A and B are shown apart, each in its own frame.
Chain A
């Protein structure tokens, strides 16, 4: 009897401990961001921020060029994702619905491209962009991020396109639609959830990208948030309240996206990942 009680309880106990372990760093970021400085530099940690303050958020937002960097990050991320969805949709449609010579080669090519070691190619990318005199511009960042998420977009959307029954498309065409119309009116609406979960991956990748942004856009007004965040931490040193407020501002969009799209997002990401 006692044993079975124990057997029922231990998984729950471990689950709670794990829950705390995984959530705590995220919680601590927000808690520190909202605490007055006196509570941050106290000998014993103040676990719950009862004295609420927005002072640290003000410090972060008032940092030089903060607004511009938010605009830069949003611009680069949104454009990269939208472009890759458009290009990806064309390719995914061809790969899922058409038979042609070299189809398998394309798929394997995109699978390999998905594993591209971008982090290692930064020097070469820097030299190319420099020779094109495009340093400190958002255009190269957008294009590189677009290609960075393109293989995943294509391979994932291919699965979603293939899941739309062929008969729907065919009957639309029998009813007099062209292939393009059938695609726009029948397939595209059914693909909406797929497009959403695919774009989530793109958002995360582009929003987070660090080494290329760090090297290409060094001017303060051309920086993106991930390249700025570590430097902010260096400049403000031990002002952990401001650093955590800046981190929170940077993390919130992605956290919200995840929470709102949780189920769909997780399913989408795992689908794509397991397929390679």
Chain B
């Protein structure tokens, strides 16, 4: 796509098959149809997205201004209560505690994923082809493992009785860990969840990063070593700058992905023990559907979306700007 010939906005060039268009009379309707063609092609996708994504989003906003509990839901009542839901949520200590927890949770996960993923990606580039294929195979296997299947496997790995992790810990000298209940405490549950998410997410980062390193022109390294740069200097002056845009983009994707990691957190321990591992999406889910405060749940959901926009605004702006300049 290096040479791109500009063409008229009507799209299809006039290919006249039979005599019909000889005097040019039927040309105009055809050109108009041509101008409409892209919109017609986009219409189905647009309608589907507006109905099944746009409407739930708007409806979420509408619900958040309603007093909507079990009674109203059963009787199909619509009771507006203005910004009461928001007032109540923003005043509650729980919300702020969960918000802080979500941000810390996201930060820990993303830092671990990005640092370890990058290191493994660089390792892939360093390995011989046989070992690289072996490690790639392992990464792809972990990547392909369905989220919920991975969650049940981690429950089994960390099971109190007969779990492999406790057995290994006891063997290497932590005898107090022999019957440790990982899902009985807040931090230990988070430890399992974070291990699970990091395990699931590293392959994407590592494989992508490895793919990106293969596109670095060899000449850059040659030039750097001619200038007398050592291995570390080459890394900081060639590899890192080259990978920077990629690292930004991936970090951004991981922030979004981890921040809304409802499935793992909910499936592993339902936000427990004592609701101590609820992160924002789980909090909204449990408030809304579990405790049947649908209006409150919607308000929490709206606030969650706003927080996500804030967290990702910086990168979002760059991406949108790139697309506009393209």
Contact = CB atoms under 8 A, between A and B. Distances in A.
Contacts of B126: 11
B53 A147 contact: yes
Contacts of A255: 141, 144-145
A22 B308 contact: no
B324 interface: yes
A270 B140 contact: no
A151 interface: yes
A251 B145 contact: yes
B289 interface: yes
Interface stretch (B19-27, B44-52, B88-96, B221-229): B44-52
A14 interface: yes
A25 B13 contact: no
A173 B146 contact: no
B155 A14 contact: no
B207 A116 contact: no
A32 B154 CA distance: 13
Nearest to B294: A123
B162 A111 contact: no
Interface stretch (A51-59, A62-70, A189-197, A204-212): A204-212
Contacts of A15: 123, 127, 131-132, 134-135
Contacts of A257: 144
B55 A128 contact: yes
A258 B140 contact: yes
Contact of B48 (A118, A122, A146, A210): A146
Contact of B308 (A117, A176, A178, A269): A117
A226 B146 contact: yes
Given A25-B157, A98-B38, A99-B7, 14 more contacts: A26-B141, A40-B162, A44-B167, A87-B48, A90-B45, A91-B45, A108-B324, A111-B319, A147-B48, A147-B53, A211-B266, A240-B162, A248-B149, A270-B208
17 contacts: A45-B162, A45-B167, A90-B45, A101-B9, A107-B323, A115-B312, A122-B288, A123-B301, A124-B63, A204-B146, A210-B267, A211-B262, A226-B146, A229-B149, A233-B152, A255-B141, A258-B140
